[in-house]
Amino acid sequence: MLKVSLRGEQMPASPIRKLVPYAEAAKKKGIKVYHLNIGQPDIETPSICLDAVRNANFKVLEYSHSAGNESYRKKLVSYYAKNNIEVTSNEIIITTGGSEAILFGFMACLDIGDEVIIPEPFYANYNGFAVQAGVKVIPIGSNIETGFALPPIEDFEKAITPKTKAIVVCNPNNPTGYLYSADEMETLKEIVIKHNLFLFADEAYREFCYGGIHTSAMHLKGAEMNVVLMDTISKRYSACGGRIGAFVTKNKNVLDAAMKFAQARLSPPYYAQLLGEAAVDLPDNYFDTTKAEYQLRRDTIVYRLNQMPGVFCPNPGGAFYAMARLPIDDCDSFCQWLLESFSYNDATLMLAPATGFYSTTGLGKQEVRLAYVLNVEAIHQAMDCLEMALQKYPGKL
């Protein structure tokens, strides 16, 4: 019998998508499912972006440059300048989503068997990218009591070995919504400079900060050669299906190595580059309304959660995710039970079990991630379902 490779067996299932069959089955039974499990914004993609694709006028859909269209990369230079990030178009490689940017970073900067440190809980696909690149994730624990603040520097020092080559930080964070402060980012700078490590910075949610100021890893003076920025238009412009991201660094050796991988996959999606290029021309106040809407949703969901007996949810400072601790025995069982066996007013909700965001076995069993990507009315209805479900769940603590 033919077998899959060991690496194929090690590839983790998505904690966000693995419950999809149960959600589909619930819908077939006529049950409405409130999707709080995935970061798919309901905000409309800007019309200027869609029109750029609709009105594209060419006779041959050609490959773009492997680094991405030069016109788009030059436009991104102006976008980053507005965020006090100074780069040139030759320091940017356009990628197929932020996912490919992260994978390029792993493959360009780490050898098979090397280690990358990531504060947990973390975006589940980091594990998948590590498996693809043949590298090992070393988790450093943060906890819900502190709102998932950056772990102490001592914890990083203890985890560093001769095989450690990089630290990954997502700011604002997915799945916790935590917004790392300027001081915390400076702490990371000290670590990577001291130990000659790369700092991979996933900044997909840069625009969505509610109670503080975003500090980019590209702002860390003296660490320019250590920093690799991974970016995407997916959440920023509600264009997840466009699959356009960016790999940005001032380190020419890293850029040259990543470029070889970019050439091997030929080119990033052409139409979505047109969309991304048009997005740079959106007015400076474009994000004001979107950010205000997400902040209202955050305030609503956090309030409702903390009003439920036995539930604790720290107030996230950015992105559009919240992590909550529930009075349940097992989040995987609970999330499946919601879809298989529970409904309230012919509705239920879909959550992401937090175990999939932890690399350490046994952690997160009482936690779930909620993506507040639904309107406030839908959030209230979903929270009504959750409140009733917590009363009826057989594994309630």
Q: Which two tokens stand for residue 289?
A: 């309304």
Q: pLDDT > 90: what percent of the chain? A: 94
Domain 6-44+287-392 has CATH 3.90.1150.10: yes
Please give the CATH topology (third level) of the domain spanning 47-279: Aspartate Aminotransferase; domain 2 (3.40.640)
CB atoms under 10 Å from CB of 388, counted, come to 15
- Quick check: 1 pLDDT over 80? no
What does the pLDDT look like over 151-178, one tens digit per residue?
Answer: 999 999 999 999 999 999 999 999 999 9
Look up residue 12 and give its DSSP letter.
P
Confidence of residue 5 (pLDDT cuts 50, 70, 90): confident
- Quick check: 14 pLDDT over 90? no
What does the pLDDT look like over 349-397, one tens digit per residue?
Answer: 999 999 999 999 999 999 999 999 999 999 999 999 999 999 999 999 8
- Per the CB < 8 A criterion, the answer to whether 87 and 248 are in contact is yes
What does the pLDDT look like over 40-92, one tens digit per residue?
Answer: 999 999 999 999 999 999 999 999 999 999 999 999 999 999 999 999 999 99
- At residue 325, the 3 state secondary structure works out as strand
The closest of 82, 108, 48, 147 to 256, measured between CA atoms, is 108
Task: Report the b/e string of 351-380 with b at 16+ CB within 10 A.
Answer: bbbbbbbbbeeebbbbbbbbbbbbeeebbe
Q: pLDDT > 70: what percent of the chain? A: 99
Cα–Cα distance list, 199 to 190, 273, 285 (Å):
11, 26, 30
- Quick check: 13 pLDDT over 90? no
Rounded to a whole number of angstroms, the CA Rg of the chain reads: 21
In the prediction, which pLDDT does 15 show?
67
- Quick check: 318 pLDDT over 70? yes
Q: What is the mean pLDDT of residues 167-192?
A: 98
In the prediction, which pLDDT does 365 show?
97
- ∠ at Cα 163 (157, 167), nearest 5°? 55
- Quick check: 3 pLDDT over 90? no
Q: What is the mean pLDDT of residues 278-289?
A: 96
Residue written as tokens 């043949």? 134
If residue 169 lies in a helix (H) or strand (E), which one and from where to where?
A: strand 164-170
What's the chain's average pLDDT?
96
| Beta bridge partners of residue 232, listed in sequence order | 245
- At residue 166, the 3 state secondary structure works out as strand
What does the pLDDT look like over 234-259, one tens digit per residue?
Answer: 999 999 999 999 999 999 999 999 99
Q: Which two tokens stand for residue 29?
A: 């039974």
Structural domain boundaries in the chain: 6-44+287-392, 47-279
**Nearby residues of 213 by Cβ (< 8 Å), 6 or more positions away:** 182
Q: What is the mean pLDDT of residues 278-300?
A: 96
The closest of 255, 140, 150, 245 to 203, measured between CA atoms, is 245
Task: Report the b/e string of 274-303 with b at 16+ CB within 10 A.
Answer: bbbbbbbeeeeebbeebbebbbebbebbbe
Q: Which two tokens stand for residue 387?
A: 């409140």
- Per the CB < 8 A criterion, the answer to whether 245 and 95 are in contact is yes
In the prediction, which pLDDT does 11 show?
77
- Per the CB < 8 A criterion, the answer to whether 201 and 171 are in contact is yes
- At residue 384, the 3 state secondary structure works out as helix
- How many alpha carbons lie under 13 Å from residue 265 in its C-beta half-sphere? 17
- Per the CB < 8 A criterion, the answer to whether 173 and 141 are in contact is no
Which amino acid is residue 127, in one-letter code?
A: N
DSSP class per residue in 287-309: HHHHHHHHHHHHHHHHHHHHHST
- At residue 152, the 3 state secondary structure works out as coil
